[in-house]
Amino acid sequence: MRGPLSMLPRQAYGLLHEIARHLLRRPVIGIVVVGFNEEGQVLLIRRGDTGGWALPGGTLEWHETLTHTAHREVEEEAGATVTRIRRISGVYSRPDRDPRFHAVTVCVVADVAGPLRGPKNRLEIRDARFFHREQLPTGLSMGCDDMLTWALQGGDAQLE
């Protein structure tokens, strides 16, 4: 049985292959949220792939703004609501930050309201909870330690 690509003329297949090669070698754009509740606690999620804690966030989808992505990802991963985005704390682009792909990640500080209803996909995200600053875990997944540290310091936005 022949697949649908076999119906394309050989030149069209070659052109599609070349376009895909260039498109798929581009960094993806994502966002992470350093979310604070009314008590000043920080929202973290426990990832299913690494088992470690991380900031909630994800990649921008087609026809979506970064603001919408921040709201959607916090809802999907923690079951919480972003009530206000305060500021951008940094933009991170180091290629080794995410082992799955090269991502350019915008880190924002936001106000987040509970209750935490938990993740929608428990295979991707195992848990979500608020931590007091003195109880924050270290060794966060996906290179989130420096993003969180810089956001907590409250300085000007960092560009990596």
Q: What is the pLDDT along the chain (160 residues), one digit of tens a residue?
A: 455 555 556 566 666 666 765 566 788 899 999 999 999 999 999 999 999 999 999 999 989 999 999 999 999 999 999 999 999 999 999 988 887 788 899 999 999 998 889 899 888 999 999 999 999 999 999 889 999 999 999 988 989 8
Domains and their CATH numbers in the chain: 27-159 (3.90.79.10)
Q: What is the predicted pLDDT for the residue at 1?
A: 43
Q: What is the predicted pLDDT for the residue at 96?
A: 86
User: Concatenated DSSP letters for the chain?
Assistant: ---GGGGS-HHHHHHHHHHHHHHTTSPEEEEEEEEE-TT-PEEEEEETTT--EE--EEEPPTT--HHHHHHHHHHHHHS-EEEEEEEEEEEE--TTS-SSS-EEEEEEEEEEE------S-TTTEEEEEEE-GGG--SS-GGGHHHHHHHHHHT-SPEE-
pTM: predicted TM-score of the whole model, two decimal places:
0.83
Q: What is the C-alpha separation between 152 and 158, in angstroms, rounded?
A: 12
Q: What is the predicted pLDDT for the residue at 134?
A: 96
Tokens representing residue 148 in the block: 């969180």
Q: Please name which of 78, 28, 21 lies closest in space to residue 53, comparing C-alpha atoms.
A: 78
Q: What is the predicted pLDDT for the residue at 74?
A: 98
Q: What is the predicted pLDDT for the residue at 16?
A: 67
